[in-house]
Amino acid sequence: QKEVEQNSGPLSVPEGAIASLNCTYSDRGSQSFFWYRQYSGKSPELIMFIYSNGDKEDGRFTAQLNKASQYVSLLIRDSQPSDSATYLCAVEKGNEKLTFGTGTRLTIIP
């Protein structure tokens, strides 16, 4: 079992709809969870992080964490073509290292 799992996609969502990206992790000791966006040929950039159960909102983005079920999700409201990218989930176990999933490729259809 991979430490961090994501559906590779591609996930296609119409412009203006909600995109939902999911990530599961195997280690119950994981403490912090990050979502990164990566455009083709570019380096990852942080969207948001979460470490408490529940929802965390930042603009059009909402991260949801459920430690009991070991999953973290990212919702993107009012999806825009500029949201088309690969989204990486990363998990930290408190040892300073982040473990990344393989990413989900998201395409927003105009």
Partner 1 sequence: DVKVTQSSRYLVKRTGEKVFLECVQDMDHENMFWYRQDPGLGLRLIYFSYDVKMKEKGDIPEGYSVSREKKERFSLILESASTNQTSMYLCASRSGGSGNTIYFGEGSWLTVV
Bond into 110 cis (ω within 30):
no
The SS3 assignment for 76 reads strand
Residue 80 near residue 18, CB atoms below 8 Å: no
Q: Which is nearer to partner 1, 94 or 110 (CB)?
A: 94
Q: Give the footprint of partner 1 on residues 21-40 (CB under 8 A).
A: 31-32, 34
Among 19, 85, 88, 106, binds partner 1 (CB under 8 A): 88
Cα distance between residue 94 and residue 44, in whole Å: 21
Please give the structure tokens belonging to residue 36.
Answer: 């990164």
Question: Between residues 39 and 78, which has the closer beta carbon with respect to partner 1?
Answer: 39
Q: Which residues of this chain interact with partner 1, rule CB under 8 A?
A: 8, 31-32, 34, 42-46, 49, 51, 88, 90, 92, 94, 96-103
